[in-house]
Amino acid sequence: MRTWFEPEETEEYEATRNVLIRRCLTWADEHGRPADDLLLAAALDARHHSRDGRLAYWDEHQIRRYLLAWIPKYVVTPREIVEIAPEILRTFLHYLSAAGLRDPRGATPAEADDAITRALPDFRKALDDPSLLGLAKFWAQTALDHGNDLAGPGALRDFQLDLDAGRIRYDQELLGKLLEARFTRTEPDLEEERDFLQPPVELPAPADLAVAAARSTTVRRLGALAGWAGEVGRPLTRQGHLTLADARELSVLLGTGEEALQVRSSADLPQLSLLLAWAGRLGLVRTGRGRLLQVARAAPLLRDPPALWARAFEVLPGLGESITMSGRAAVLGRCFDDVLTDVLNALYGMDDLPVARLAETVWLACQEHVVMDGAPERLKDLWRRRSALDLECALEVLAALGAVELTRGPADELCSSDLGHDDQALPPDAVERLRRRLAEPGLLLARLTPLALRSVRERLLAQGRDAPLIGELADCPAAELLGVLSQHYPPREAAVELNSWLSHPGQDVETLLRAIRDCPFRTRAAAMLAVLAEVLPQGRALVRDLRHDPVLAPTALTFLVDAGEVDPAALDRREHLLLGAENFLTLLELGGPRVLVEQLRSMAGDDAYELAAAILDSGHHDVAGLAELRELVAEPLRGRLLRLIPGTGTGARPARRKRRL
């Protein structure tokens, strides 16, 4: 059971959503909790249509986004149902935890309960705020208020006829406001664009990061600059610049190497100008009465190198005018903030990325931000070259801060492996240019330092993105650990994380196997077992031993057959039945009842019910899955068989409960 899907995996997501809703409704009924299929679907949709798309990851931000924005905008259901949406969300989150599906990096059930409770007053206000409605919900709710849920055949046509005839009244003033807000509202769309996946990263201990921050050239220079300015201050010219004499003195003190440059003004010393602008942004210095002064309130920040480093890194994107060669007039200077953020994201988790590769994507981004229509190709080529040089300047600034490590060497083959793909975003001329550059031996290469990795990761997390950290799963429940590893960790990183988990007392392989035995979903159990098989040194041998396990035998057999280690013809009758049951239950999860019915009919024809009955008698341990197979597949097949015999009943399947309140 996956809990993450690409946006285009519509059918796969909907199949999983249906399974989760069915299982959650059953669990809620067994535990006396409120549940509703429409609101459960809405909660899953809210997470699927988000930056990270993790269905089982919920924190306070996601809880509030769902309750205070998603429901008011999209969910159409009677008021008495929608009012208990917070309690239904509690049910769903507790179900995720009970089923071993919860993403352990999110809120615990207790933390989620507290977050929902805190959101209740605002939730009630949001329900009563008509401005939060979406246009689609406005019309659907209007139809529902007039006894039409728009679900039946011709319902939409009838509703339109009633509207045209004036038989349905609606709030025209509110509709006008919603139409206006659709084109003027500035807040982000709730259906967020999916962000690129980020690889898991490792970080040193906090003490090591603190030492690295204190060693940063830029941090030392910023501290020295503020101390040099002092409380008395340094005089400024009428134009607001340092005198040349003071600038040269400061250059020597800071080690920028600009003291011997022949310039007319201290403003023409690029490194010094950048440091002064940087210190100003950080609030370390200020100007007053014609002097440059140290800010007294900045003393705590100056005494805390890690905090100073983090703040310096945070404000850096706003210093594009001081970094690029032509300042604001430079093409990159006009979009430096956005582009630098993208560059840092591109470097995140990567090893020695060629700067030439970054330069092409930066130039592509510049063309999206700056209007170049009508400019001659020769001028565009000049701008492109200057943007590449400005990018190198920015990387050198980052290197001095200790955020980027710059080296020289050949490009990894992976950096050019996708250049011929159809989905390559670069235009043909850029691809050819990049092919030539990547073949050169002494390329400039860049990678983020651990300090930058930590800061970029914190920003990604604040944006609601998934940014795995090696070691963060070291003490989480076994089922949740394997669930995350199977979906979000490449093999090497999964091995490191799993070994870290196993190094803790009481956390062993048997605990992991127990979690797989307890897993109520065939697809998820298979993925969890595959993690052990591929990551543990003894993994394959472990799976072979499980062939005779009373619970895990079907899952192990499926793995071994798929891996070519077991010949299906060598299985005995019992193993054949277990293997068949595992495969059919898996198909029920992945495709739904209709797909499984079609598969059974294609395999057995008129004997499809007998095949389904054999699966039900296979001895497979998945009680929940077999119950669904009996209700959703076997009984409809049996009913069809009965209808073929004259004089029998309809064989109709019982109506399924939609909600429990």
Whole-number Å distance between alpha carbons of 143 and 492: 54
Which among 5, 3, 49, 41 is positioned nearest to 22, based on CA atoms?
A: 41
Q: The domain containing residue 40 runs over which residues?
A: 10-184
**pTM for this entry:** 0.85
- DSSP, residue by residue, 357-412: HHHHHHHHHHHHHS--TT--HHHHHHHHHHHHHHHHHHHHHHHHHTSEEEEEEPPP
Cα-Cα-Cα-Cα dihedral sign, residues 92, 95, 100, 106: positive
Whole-number Å distance between alpha carbons of 365 and 339: 7
Q: What is the mean pLDDT of the chain?
A: 89
| Within-domain flag for 600 | yes
Given this model, what pLDDT does residue 180 score?
A: 67
| Within-domain flag for 79 | yes
Given this model, what pLDDT does residue 375 score?
A: 82
As a whole number, mean pLDDT of residues 422-429 equals 75
Kindly state whether residues 522 and 634 are assigned to the same domain.
yes
Residue 558: pLDDT band (50, 70, 90) is very high
As a whole number, mean pLDDT of residues 421-437 equals 81
| Within-domain flag for 437 | yes
Asked if 558 and 567 touch (Cβ cutoff 8 Å), the reply is: no
Which among 366, 411, 477, 386 is positioned nearest to 104, based on CA atoms?
A: 477
Given this model, what pLDDT does residue 488 score?
A: 95
Whole-number Å distance between alpha carbons of 119 and 259: 59
- Token readout for 202 is 């490792």
Whole-number Å distance between alpha carbons of 163 and 471: 59
| Within-domain flag for 190 | no
Give yes or no for residue 646 having a pLDDT over 80. no
Query: At residue 436, what is the residue type?
Result: R
Residue 640: pLDDT band (50, 70, 90) is low
| Within-domain flag for 60 | yes
C-beta neighbour count of 181 within 10 angstroms = 16
Kindly state whether residues 29 and 74 are assigned to the same domain.
yes
Residue 197: pLDDT band (50, 70, 90) is confident
| Within-domain flag for 661 | no
Number of domains the chain is built from: 4
Given this model, what pLDDT does residue 652 score?
A: 34
Give yes or no for residue 639 having a pLDDT over 70. yes
Whole-number Å distance between alpha carbons of 72 and 62: 15
Kindly state whether residues 333 and 442 are assigned to the same domain.
yes
Kindly state whether residues 239 and 293 are assigned to the same domain.
yes
Given this model, what pLDDT does residue 191 score?
A: 74
Higher-pLDDT residue of 51, 78:
51
Give yes or no for residue 449 having a pLDDT over 80. yes
As a whole number, mean pLDDT of residues 375-388 equals 89
Asked if 437 and 354 touch (Cβ cutoff 8 Å), the reply is: yes
Number of H helices, E strands in the chain: 34, 8
Kindly state whether residues 76 and 220 are assigned to the same domain.
no
Kindly state whether residues 270 and 409 are assigned to the same domain.
no
* Contacts of 536-541 spanning 24+ positions with Cβ under 8 A: 536/498, 536/509, 540/565
- Token readout for 31 is 């535990």
Burial of 624 (0-12, 13-18, 19+ CB in 10 A): middle
Whole-number Å distance between alpha carbons of 274 and 214: 20
Which among 501, 530, 502, 529 is positioned nearest to 516, based on CA atoms?
A: 529
Kindly state whether residues 419 and 511 are assigned to the same domain.
no
Kindly state whether residues 508 and 420 are assigned to the same domain.
no
Residue 649: pLDDT band (50, 70, 90) is very low
- DSSP, residue by residue, 115-164: HHHHHHHHHHHHHT-GGG--HHHHHHHHHHHTT--S-STTHHHHHHHHHH
| Within-domain flag for 456 | no
As a whole number, mean pLDDT of residues 423-446 equals 86
Cα-Cα-Cα-Cα dihedral sign, residues 358, 360, 363, 365: negative
As a whole number, mean pLDDT of residues 169-179 equals 69
What is the percent of the chain where pLDDT is above 90?
A: 73
Residue 181: pLDDT band (50, 70, 90) is low
At how many degrees (to 10) do helices 85-98 and 109-127 cross?
160
Query: Which residues make Cβ contacts (< 8 Å) with residue 587, sequence separation at least 6?
Result: 595, 596, 599
Given this model, what pLDDT does residue 659 score?
A: 47
Give yes or no for residue 540 having a pLDDT over 50. yes
Alpha carbon of 367 to those of 29, 197, 381, 428, 660: distances in Å? 56, 25, 12, 15, 54
Higher-pLDDT residue of 140, 210:
210
C-beta neighbour count of 63 within 10 angstroms = 27
At how many degrees (to 10) do helices 336-347 and 355-369 cross?
150
Given this model, what pLDDT does residue 182 score?
A: 62
Residue 279: pLDDT band (50, 70, 90) is very high
As a whole number, mean pLDDT of residues 648-656 equals 36
Kindly state whether residues 144 and 224 are assigned to the same domain.
no
Kindly state whether residues 265 and 342 are assigned to the same domain.
no
Whole-number Å distance between alpha carbons of 48 and 40: 12
Whole-number Å distance between alpha carbons of 22 and 588: 12
| DSSP-derived 3-state class of residue 277 | helix
Q: In this predicted model, what pLDDT tens digit does every residue of 50-66 receive, in sequence order?
A: 999 999 999 999 999 99
In the listed set 267, 290, 320, which residue is the last one of a domain according to the structure? 320
Given this model, what pLDDT does residue 170 score?
A: 74
Give yes or no for residue 541 having a pLDDT over 80. yes
Give yes or no for residue 538 having a pLDDT over 60. yes
As a whole number, mean pLDDT of residues 555-571 equals 94
Kindly state whether residues 335 and 315 are assigned to the same domain.
no
| Within-domain flag for 46 | yes
Residue 428: pLDDT band (50, 70, 90) is confident
Whole-number Å distance between alpha carbons of 274 and 38: 56
Residue 648: pLDDT band (50, 70, 90) is very low
Half-sphere exposure for 633 (CA within 13 Å, toward CB): 31
Asked if 450 and 207 touch (Cβ cutoff 8 Å), the reply is: no
As a whole number, mean pLDDT of residues 470-496 equals 96
Classify the phi-psi angles of 166: left when phi > 0, otherwise alpha if psi is within -120 to 50, otherwise beta.
left
Whole-number Å distance between alpha carbons of 578 and 66: 41
Query: At residue 596, what is the residue type?
Result: L
Q: In this predicted model, what pLDDT tens digit does every residue of 164-173 receive, in sequence order?
A: 677 777 777 6
Given this model, what pLDDT does residue 476 score?
A: 95
Asked if 576 and 597 touch (Cβ cutoff 8 Å), the reply is: no
At how many degrees (to 10) do helices 355-369 and 428-438 cross?
160
Kindly state whether residues 401 and 505 are assigned to the same domain.
no
Given this model, what pLDDT does residue 133 score?
A: 73
